Amino acid sequence: MIKLKNLIISLIISIGIGQLSGFLTKDASKTFSDKFNQSMLTPPDWVFPIVWIILFFLMGLSAELVYETDCKVKKYGLFVYGLQLIFNFFWSIFFFINNQFVLSFGWITILILLVIAMIFLFYKCKPIAAYLQLPYLAWLIFASYLNYMVVILN
């Protein structure tokens, strides 16, 4: 059973990290498409904040579902969850502010591996928590393609 207080804290953590990352990179990301060539599959700029708020909400909900279990691997799953949040946060800085596209591609590859590990650990605790992470994994794979195309085209 979800405890409202814990859910709110979990959502504040996940959405807060996303919002902080977005705030720190907003100026650089606004001018990004003017400075660098991108894939023809790159969505319009307005799509990204909508997708990310949904994904960070699902991340927070998923983490809360795992937190409420008595699963043996819960602490490992939540550790990997926290680690992937950190990787997620820094990817935006490396990519948008520092324009380190090759580093960013390697970073997002590690992030994808962390999310896969998290999904497996979450599944052992609460399968629905793992399923809630699948849109995030899909988006990261797409984002890694977009990152790769920026490397190739610039």
Per-residue pLDDT of the chain (154 residues; tens, 9 = 90+): 678 999 999 999 999 999 999 999 999 988 898 899 999 999 999 999 999 999 999 999 999 999 999 999 999 999 999 999 999 999 999 999 999 999 999 999 999 999 999 999 999 999 999 999 999 999 999 999 999 999 999 9
Domain of 139, in residue numbers: 4-29+44-153
Asked, for residue 38, whether it belongs to a domain, the answer is: no
Residue 146 is assigned to a structural domain of this protein: yes
- Angstrom distances, CA of residue 96 to CA of 70, 72, 135: 40, 39, 23
Is 39 within a domain? Answer: no
The answer as to whether 34 is a domain residue is no
In a domain, residue 35? The reply is no
Residue 44 gets which letter from DSSP?
P
DSSP 8-state assignment for residue 96: I
How far apart CA 119 and CA 58 sit, in angstroms, is 13
Query: What is the rounded CA–CA span in Å between residue 129 and residue 124?
Result: 10
Residues 107 and 90 sit within 8 Å (Cβ to Cβ): yes
In a domain, 101, yes or no: yes
Please give the tally of structural domains in the chain. 1
pTM: 0.95
Quote the CA–CA distance of 146 and 129 in Å, as a whole number: 27
Q: What is the CATH number of the domain that holds 131?
A: 1.20.1260
